[in-house]
Structure 1
Amino acid sequence: MRFHTRKWIKPEDLNPNGTLFGGKLLAWIDEECALYSIIQLENSKCVTKYMSEINFQHSARQGDIVEIGIQVLKFGTTSLTLKCEVRNKMTRSTIITIDKVIMVTLDEEGKPTPHGKTKVEFVKDRLQNKV
Structure 2
Amino acid sequence: MRYHTRKIVKPGDLNPNNTLFGGRLLEWIDEEAALYAVIQLESNRVVTKYMSEINFVSSALQGDIVEIGMDVVKFGRSSLVLKCEVRNKLTRKTIIQVDNITMVYLDENGKPAPHGKTKIEYVRDRLALN
Could you tell me the TM-score, scaled by structure 2's length? Answer: 0.99
* Inter-partner Cα distance in structure 1 for 2:128 and 2:98: 33
Q: Which amino acid aligns with 2:57?
A: Q
Matched, 1:76 2:76: yes
Runs (4+) of structure 1 exceeding 2 A deviation are none
Gaps of 5+ in 2: none
Give the corresponding residue for 2:124.
124
* Inter-partner Cα distance in structure 1 for 2:20 and 2:45: 29
* Inter-partner Cα distance in structure 2 for 1:108 and 1:123: 24
**CA deviation string 1:63-110 (max 9, x = no partner):** 000000001010000000000000000000000000100000001110
* Inter-partner Cα distance in structure 1 for 2:33 and 2:118: 17
Q: Note the 1:24-35 alignment, pairs <5 A.
A: 24-35=24-35
* Inter-partner Cα distance in structure 2 for 1:120 and 1:12: 35
Size of the aligned set, in residue pairs, is 130
Q: Once the 2 structures are TM-superposed, how far is the Cα of residue 127 of structure 1 from its aligned partner?
A: 1.1
Give the corresponding residue for 2:2.
2
* Inter-partner Cα distance in structure 2 for 1:121 and 1:78: 17
Matched, 1:13 2:13: yes
* Inter-partner Cα distance in structure 2 for 1:73 and 1:16: 35
* Inter-partner Cα distance in structure 1 for 2:126 and 2:114: 20
**Once the two structures are aligned, what percentage of the paired residues are identical?**
70
RMSD (CA atoms): 0.4
Give the corresponding residue for 2:42.
42
Q: Once the 2 structures are TM-superposed, how far is the Cα of residue 128 of structure 1 from its aligned partner?
A: 1.1
Give the corresponding residue for 1:51.
51
Gaps of 5+ in 1: none
Give the corresponding residue for 1:87.
87
Q: Which amino acid aligns with 2:34?
A: A
